[in-house]
Amino acid sequence: MAPSQPASSASPSSSLTPRRPSVTVLTGAGVSTDSGIPDFRGPAGVWTRNPAAEKLSDIDHYLADPDVRKRSWLARRANPAWRAEPNAGHLALVELEHRGALRALVTQNIDRLHQKAGSSPELVLELHGNMVESVCITCGARGMTKDALDRVDAGEEDPPCLACGGILKTATVMFGQALDPDVLQAAAEAAQACTTFVAVGTSLQVHPAAGLCEVAVRNGAELIVVNAEATPYDDLAARVIREPIGTALPALVDELAR
């Protein structure tokens, strides 16, 4: 029988093995506030200041009330996300990917600023869809939201689907709609497989997104919560960071990607 090799005889190339991605990140609206996009449930959030505005994101109200749809299209046109640029938080997560430590970037945001910052689209899991595309409730035809908004500017208050005449909306998941099962499954697998799960800029009040924290911890991951306000999962976290995201997240990335 051949003698066993001493530990020091390991192939030199083993030290060059790429880092296995081990960090899964969940982002919420707080990541985009430094880009000029208000959050929803924070002290100055859209729904905090105007609870009635939440109806515009409810699928039942949207389908039943043409006036809700008209107001929704006006709100979409005025959304500051169209003019927003990525901030230091978005760029920090791009750096985490470049250093080979990012397994998946799960986001509740619909603004696509992660992709605009340079995050690889294949790593970004959009749990709540996106505002850039439009979709018909009736036939499923997809298009670009800006094309629909051009029709609003031309006088169509509630632009119907050009393919079938059905009700048109952005490709976002509204209250009362189910999440895409494939996206949700991919997010759950990313939470199960990571060694560190970072929840940043999210109130962790909306499920099933918030439940990914518990999935990660149950499978042995360290949970880090980065959020200005308390969340229901703070007690489960190994660390809770209250500093502003624009400074806290770059520092955390430096630590996690050493």
Q: Cite the beta strand spans of the chain per DSSP E.
A: 23-27, 102-107, 124-126, 129-136, 142-144, 168-172, 196-200, 222-226, 239-241
Q: Is the dihedral of CA 41, 46, 52, 53 positive or negative?
A: negative
Residues serving a catalytic function are: 128
Which sign does the torsion angle of CA 128, 90, 28, 183 carry? positive
Q: Are the C-beta atoms of 112 and 130 separated by less than 8 Å?
A: yes
* Six token digits for residue 77: 């046109």
Distance CA 215, CA 193 (A): 10
CA distance 162 to 141: 9
